[in-house]
Amino acid sequence: MDGIFISYRRDDAAGYAGRLSDRLKAQFGADRVFMDVEGIEPGTDFVVAIEQAVGSCRVLIVLIGDEWLNIRDAQGRRRLDDPHDFIRLEIAAALKRDIRVVPVVLDRATMPGADDLPDELKPLARRQAIAIQHQQWDASTATLIQALQKLLGEKAGEGGAGAVRWSVAAGIGLLAVGAGAWWTWRNVPQPPIEEEEVGLLAAASPAASAPAPVMDGTGGGRRASSGSASAPGAPRPPETVVAAAPVPAPHAASSGPSRPPLPASVPPVTRAAPPTVPASAPTPAPAAAPSPAAAPAPAAAPAPAPPVVRSPDSRLPAVGQSWTYQVRGKWPTSPNRTVVIRVNQVNGDMVVDSLQDPAMADPVQRRSRAGQGGFVSWPGIGAEFSPYLVAGEIGSWRGRGFPTPDVDGQWTQWHSSGEALGRESVMVPAGRFEAVKVEVWSNRMATGGQASAQLEPVRIHYLVWYAPEVRRYVRLQRRVMSAAGQEIERDVFELVSRQGG
């Protein structure tokens, strides 16, 4: 009863499910992680089989991708509305048995609301969700693992067979490192041990007549004795020793009850006499006062450096530069016309554009920041995504959380994220360009219920192609999806011509 069951839709999150299963098996053990119900034999009640499989686990993980809520069958019905849908049965069985259900929201997906779910799945909307990001896989899955460890009553670092194998390998590695360190220490030559008594050193010498080293009383060095081990040597000339202890004479290395007395020939310690001070010292003559030094001449002030003239960023648009776009939509009522966007002002990364639209009497102005993610909302043609994103590091761009405009003034609370997908050659009326392709998703929770599900927008998908030589995008595709999973609108902006810059 301590297993983990992963519930997912193959059409929505099969890749994530397999990758997550491998991650959890490595942490908790392969015998504790299960993915969907496989191998149901013919004639078996699959409802009972699912309930038994889910009931054998303590935690059910529900992987929720972009299409999890609105995937439909061949008849156009939403799969979650089918009482025999496997995903619905798995989640319902876990909720009914009071098994802990953990929703895991993948990348750009959003947590469904209670109104979006069948009655028996509505409690799922109240479960605290965990987000997993493809670009931050290790960090986001680590958060999930920590939550599972708490639910399963395990301490951080505990796990199944994978963790045990890691512990054994780590122990073997530590033993190998310790053995290597011991062998290295064993073969390093050790410094000789010096005894304080000279007799021990003399006994260790190969010949009795060899001079025995004597430790200086201060411990600051060694000096050699001139005598042998059996008799004191000739006296040495006096030497000055400051605050030194008497040095014992060498003696034979034979055992005895007491040490022999110092021989008479040991030279005395001579101390330096203090300097003699005369009784009356002559009074020194007063020294002549030094003449004041001449003050240095003031240095000439350096000439001011010429002002640094910064050249404008070649990636930014220039004032007066313009782009002509052909705008066409999916429906006969969609905007199908040619518009001109012109740069009126550039102040740092702030760009002020004006739109000339045949459907409007006067041009309108909007501002945006170059090199940053965001939207520009125009009357008549809708929203552009960051028209000058190419002015930044677009090749590795990734962003989220930027303000997203409302749709038709009533569909609010949008959340957006996007990233650069790579380089791609694109053909538009103005020619062929090598561009960087960027994908952006804007999502919101449905609020209108089933009555307006066909018309309520809940997802907007942008694909934008930016050409560095144009300093703007050359193609933009915008798709609006309803709460019922249908495409409401599809608009395409394509560059026809450009001037200036």
Distance, CA of 33 to CA of 16 (rounded, Å) = 15
**27 or 273, greater pLDDT:** 27
Would you give the end-to-end CA distance of the chain in angstroms? 68
Q: Is residue 380 part of a domain?
A: yes
**SS3 state of residue 30:** helix
Domain for residue 255, yes or no? no
CATH number of the domain to which 26 belongs: 3.40.50.10140
Highest mean pLDDT among 12-16, 157-161, 168-172, 267-271: 12-16
Higher pLDDT, 46 or 221: 46
CA distance 436 to 458: 27
Residue 470 CB-half CA count within 13 A = 28
- The pLDDT of residue 465: 97
- Within a 10 A sphere around the Cβ of 57, how many other Cβ atoms? 21
Q: Which of 33-42, 129-138, 459-468 is modeled with the greatest confidence?
A: 459-468
Q: Residue 161 pLDDT more than 50?
A: no
Kindly tell me the number of DSSP H helices and DSSP E strands found in the chain. 6, 19
The per-residue pLDDT of the chain, averaged, comes to: 76
* pLDDT value at residue 469: 94
35-44 CB burial, b ≥16 within 10 A, e <16 = bbbeeeeeee
* pLDDT of 150 above 70: yes
Residues 314-329 have a mean pLDDT of 93
Q: For residue 257, what pLDDT band results from cuts at 50, 70 and 90?
A: very low
CA 79, 82, 85: angle at the middle one, nearest 5?
A: 70
Question: Residue 282: what pLDDT?
Answer: 52
**Considering 152, 168, 191, which residue would you say is the last residue of a domain?**
152
Structural domain boundaries enclosing 447: 321-499
Residue 91: inside a domain, yes or no? yes
Residue 195 banded pLDDT, cuts 50, 70, 90? very low
| β partners of residue 420 | 438
Which tens digits make up the pLDDT trace of 81-134? 999 888 999 999 999 999 999 999 998 788 999 999 999 999 999 999 999 988
Confidence at residue 333, expressed as pLDDT on a 0 to 100 scale? 67
Distance CA 354, CA 367 (A): 9
Pairing mode, if any, of strands 487-499 and 213-215? unpaired
The CA distance from 34 to 11, in Å, is 18
Q: How much is the pLDDT for 293?
A: 55
pLDDT for the residue 74: 72
Residue 485 structure tokens:
């999973």
**Residue 42: inside a domain:** yes
> The domain that contains 327 carries what CATH number?
2.40.360
pLDDT of residue 35: 80
What average pLDDT does range 313-331 have in this prediction? Answer: 91
Which of 152, 177, 196 represents a domain boundary (last residue)? 152
Cα separation, 496 vs 429, in Å, equals: 5
Q: Is the pLDDT of residue 369 over 80?
A: yes
Please tell me the predicted confidence (pLDDT) of residue 209.
43
- Residue 294 belongs to some domain of the structure: no
Tell me the per-residue pLDDT of 383-392, one tens digit each, with 9 for 90 and over.
999 999 999 9
What is the per-residue pLDDT for 240? 45
Mean pLDDT for 151-174 is 54
Q: Average pLDDT of 3-14?
A: 87
Question: How many independent structural domains does the chain possess?
Answer: 2
- Output the pLDDT for position 318: 93
Whether 310 is in a domain gets the answer no
Checking if the pLDDT of 450 tops 80, the result is no
**Token match 């009555």: residue?**
451
Quote the CA–CA distance of 284 and 282 in Å, as a whole number: 6
Is 241 inside a domain boundary? Answer: no
Strand-pairing partners, residue 323, are: 341, 498
Inter-helix orientation angle 161-187/10-28, to 10°: 40
- Rounded CA-CA distance 441/430 in Å is 27
Q: Residue 355 falls within a domain, yes or no?
A: yes
User: What pLDDT was estimated at residue 191?
Assistant: 45
Sign of CA dihedral 27, 144, 485, 328: negative
> In this prediction, what percent of the chain has a pLDDT beyond 70?
66
With 50 as the cut, is the pLDDT of residue 223 above it?
no
Q: How many CA atoms lie within 13 A of 78 on its CB side?
A: 17
* Domain end among 98, 127, 152: 152
DSSP per residue over 450-497, as a string? Answer: GGGTTT-EEEEEEEEEEETTTTEEEEEEEEEEETTS-EEEEEEEEEEE
Length of the chain measured in residues:
501
Strands 33-35 and 3-7: parallel
Average pLDDT over residues 350-362: 90
What is the full DSSP assignment across 43-81? TS-HHHHHHHHHHTEEEEEEEE-TTTTT-B-TTS-BGGG
pLDDT at position 285: 52
Indicate whether 374 pLDDT > 80.
yes
